[in-house]
């Protein structure tokens, strides 16, 4: 038996599905989802007002340790508004990693800002504080009102690390670099609910963090996102903006800002409340799956992308690094042809036509990972 068939055989045995299609990551609805959705429908409050919206925000804040959590339509909208809230303006620059989902770069574009792509670390697959500082030393100057790019003359206002597949980046070092260079930290924690760095939940280190609850995430609301705040007043203002900046009044329609229709409906939040009740179980089971993968791939001499030091990862998507691009594509074809869904990591952002002219640093780590990383079946094992 060759290596590809051995891996597929192991995945099928692990998930107790000897034949048929195995998705990459499917949601689990094993609790009060139907009960809460029916309650929501019976109440008639199915839009952006209702008890489940408030409860969902409280549950996520309690779990993550954020002082306040505010729901949003999806993670991309949350990231867009987060950049606006930290002061990103048209023609500013925002540091991001090239190895990320398109939403990170798109949100920067929504703000009419320009991404600058800095390399990732091999152990986290996320933005490298070391590479970021090296690039900043060579390419920027710090002025009274912020950090400026010597080449473009633009202000570098924010930095958006993404915790790839749930693995936290080196946050202490990144926070330090951002502070010294007057750059706001906005955490793209879309994939990392249930992940902790030195005992503290991802998304709570920067001024704002965001989470996604898309259908393929660790927990889901179908579609949906969440802001995480340490600043309660900023959270209140965000809630105001996401409800079209409408001034509360019994009957009048008065708005005091350019607002956004970004509030999560109550019916989605009902699903989220039920999912949150089982989040600790989901994380436990996902980590058990990851451990079994780690042990299995060690016997094959294949690198399993394990959680970095000082972290606890949710292992949203388990990943392996194959020997080269050819081996990666051979495995992708074999596994998908045989009903086990696998996928490569994203095409690097700077290789997409929309972002091919963006400034970058040396991207050797991201390029190495792009050629080799494969995501394998990662659903919660029930």
Spatial contact of 307 and 167, defined as CB atoms under 8 Å apart: yes
Q: How far apart, in Å, are the Cα atoms of 276 and each of 54, 99, 144, 332?
A: 13, 28, 44, 33
Spatial contact of 182 and 206, defined as CB atoms under 8 Å apart: no
User: For residue 353, how many other CB atoms are within 10 A of its CB?
Assistant: 6
Whether residue 202 has pLDDT greater than 90: yes
Ramachandran quadrant class, 280 (left: phi over 0; alpha: psi -120 to 50; beta: rest): alpha
Q: How far apart, in Å, are the Cα atoms of 350 and each of 31, 132, 162, 200, 372?
A: 42, 16, 16, 31, 18
Instruction: Write the pLDDT tens digit of every residue in 207-257.
Output: 999 999 999 999 999 999 999 999 999 999 999 999 999 999 899 999 999
CB burial of residue 154 (10 Å; 0-12, 13-18, 19+)? middle
Angle (CA) 329 121 322, round 5°: 20
Residue 350 has a pLDDT of: 98
Instruction: Write the pLDDT tens digit of every residue in 114-156.
Output: 999 999 999 999 999 999 999 999 999 999 999 999 999 999 9
- Tell me the whole-structure pTM to 2 decimals: 0.96
Give the single-character DSSP code of 346.
P
Which residue is associated with the tokens 């340490």?
230
Angle (CA) 332 355 177, round 5°: 95
4/331 Cα distance (integer angstroms) = 6
User: For residue 255, how many other CB atoms are within 10 A of its CB?
Assistant: 12
- Percent above pLDDT 70 for the chain: 100
Whether residue 1 has pLDDT greater than 90: no
- Domain over 33-277 is classified CATH 3.40.30.10: no
Average pLDDT, the chain: 97
How many residues in the chain? Answer: 382
347 pLDDT band, cuts 50/70/90, is very high
Spatial contact of 136 and 145, defined as CB atoms under 8 Å apart: no
Instruction: Write the pLDDT tens digit of every residue in 166-201.
Output: 999 999 999 999 999 999 999 999 999 999 999 999
- Domain over 3-27+279-351+358-376 is classified CATH 3.40.50.12780: no
Q: Domain residues of the chain, as ranges?
A: 3-27+279-351+358-376, 33-277
């Amino acid at each position: 038996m060759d290596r590809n068939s051995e891996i597929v055989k192991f995945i099928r045995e692990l998930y107790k599905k000897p034949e048929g299609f195995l998705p990459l990551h499917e949601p689990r609805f094993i609790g009060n989802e139907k009960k809460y959705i029916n309650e929501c429908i019976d109440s008639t409050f199915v839009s952006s007002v209702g008890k489940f919206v408030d409860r969902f925000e409280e549950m996520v804040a309690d779990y993550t340790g954020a002082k306040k959590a505010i729901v949003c339509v999806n993670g991309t909208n949350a990231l867009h508004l987060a950049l606006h809230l930290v002061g990103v303006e048209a023609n500013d620059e925002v540091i991001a990693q090239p190895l990320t989902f398109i939403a990170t770069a798109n949100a920067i574009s929504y703000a009419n800002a320009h991404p600058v792509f800095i390399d990732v670390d091999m152990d986290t697959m996320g933005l490298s504080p070391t590479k970021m500082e090296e690039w900043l030393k060579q390419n920027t100057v710090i002025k009274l009102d912020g950090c400026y790019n010597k080449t473009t003359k633009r202000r570098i206002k924010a930095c958006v690390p993404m915790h790839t597949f749930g693995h936290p980046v080196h946050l202490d070092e990144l926070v330090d670099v951002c502070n010294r260079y007057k750059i706001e930290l906005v955490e793209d924690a879309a994939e990392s609910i249930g992940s902790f760095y030195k005992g503290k939940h991802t998304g709570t280190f920067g001024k704002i963090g965001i989470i996604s609850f898309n259908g393929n995430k660790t927990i889901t609301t179908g579609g949906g996102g969440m802001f995480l705040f340490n600043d309660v007043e900023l959270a209140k203002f965000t809630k105001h903006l996401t409800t079209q900046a409408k001034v509360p009044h019994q009957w009048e329609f008065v708005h005091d800002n350019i607002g956004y229709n970004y509030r999560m409906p109550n019916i989605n939040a009902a699903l989220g409340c039920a999912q949150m009740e089982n989040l600790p179980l989901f994380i436990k089971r996902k980590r058990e799956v990851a451990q079994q993968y780690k042990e299995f791939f060690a016997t094959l001499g294949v690198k399993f992308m394990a959680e970095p030091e000082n972290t606890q990862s949710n292992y949203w998507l388990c990943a392996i690094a194959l020997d080269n691009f050819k081996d990666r594509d051979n495995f992708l074809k074999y596994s998908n042809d045989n009903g086990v869904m696998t996928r490569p990591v994203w095409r690097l952002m700077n290789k997409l036509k929309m972002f091919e002219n963006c400034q970058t640093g040396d991207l050797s780590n991201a390029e190495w990972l792009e050629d080799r990383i494969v995501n394998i079946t990662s659903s919660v094992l029930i």
